[in-house]
Amino acid sequence: MKKVTSYEELLHKLPQKEKSYLLLYKEGNEQSDCAYKNIETALSNNESVSVFSADVATVRDIHGKYGISSVPSLMIFEQGEYIRTVKGCHDSSYYKSIIQNAIYQAKARAEGKLPKRVTVYSTPYCSWCNTLKSWLKRNGIHYTDVDVSRDEREAQALVRRSGQQGVPQTEINGQIIAGFNEQRLKTLLEI
Tell me how many domains the chain contains.
2
Q: Tell me if 111 is assigned to some domain.
A: no
Average pLDDT, integer, range 16-23: 84
Q: Tell me if 63 is assigned to some domain.
A: yes
Q: Tell me if 107 is assigned to some domain.
A: no
pLDDT the model gives residue 17: 66
CA 108 distance to own-chain centroid: 18
pLDDT the model gives residue 24: 97
Task: Identify the burial level of 42 via C-beta atoms within 10 angstroms of its C-beta, where 0-12 means exposed, 13-18 middle and 19 or more buried.
Answer: buried
Residue 14 shares a structural domain with residue 84? yes
Q: Of the candidates 68, 97, 126, which is a domain's last residue?
A: 97
Q: Lay out the sheet containing 169-172: strands in order across.
A: 144-147, 118-122, 169-172, 175-178
Q: What is the mean pLDDT of the chain?
A: 89
36-45, pLDDT tens digit by residue?
999 999 888 7
Residue 50 shares a structural domain with residue 93? yes
Q: Tell me if 129 is assigned to some domain.
A: yes
Residue 89 shares a structural domain with residue 125? no
Residue 82 shares a structural domain with residue 130? no
Cα–Cα distances in Å, from 116 out to 42, 71, 139, 156? 22, 30, 13, 24
Residue 89 shares a structural domain with residue 10? yes
Residue 12 shares a structural domain with residue 41? yes
Where in the sequence is the domain holding 162, given as residue range(s)? 116-189
CA–CA separation, 96 vs 49, rounded Å? 11
Q: Tell me if 46 is assigned to some domain.
A: yes
87-132, pLDDT tens digit by residue?
999 888 888 878 777 766 667 777 777 778 899 999 999 999 999 9
CATH code of residue 178: 3.40.30.10
Residue 91 shares a structural domain with residue 11? yes
CA–CA separation, 139 vs 118, rounded Å? 13
26-69, pLDDT tens digit by residue?
999 999 999 999 999 988 877 678 899 999 999 999 999 999 99
Residue 131 shares a structural domain with residue 62? no
What percent of the chain stands above pLDDT 70? 94
Q: Tell me if 104 is assigned to some domain.
A: no
pLDDT band with cut points at 50, 70 and 90 for residue 153: confident
pLDDT the model gives residue 160: 93
Average pLDDT, integer, range 126-139: 92
- The interaxial angle of helices 92-110 and 30-43, nearest 10 deg, is 40
Residue 29 shares a structural domain with residue 74? yes
Residue 90 shares a structural domain with residue 133? no
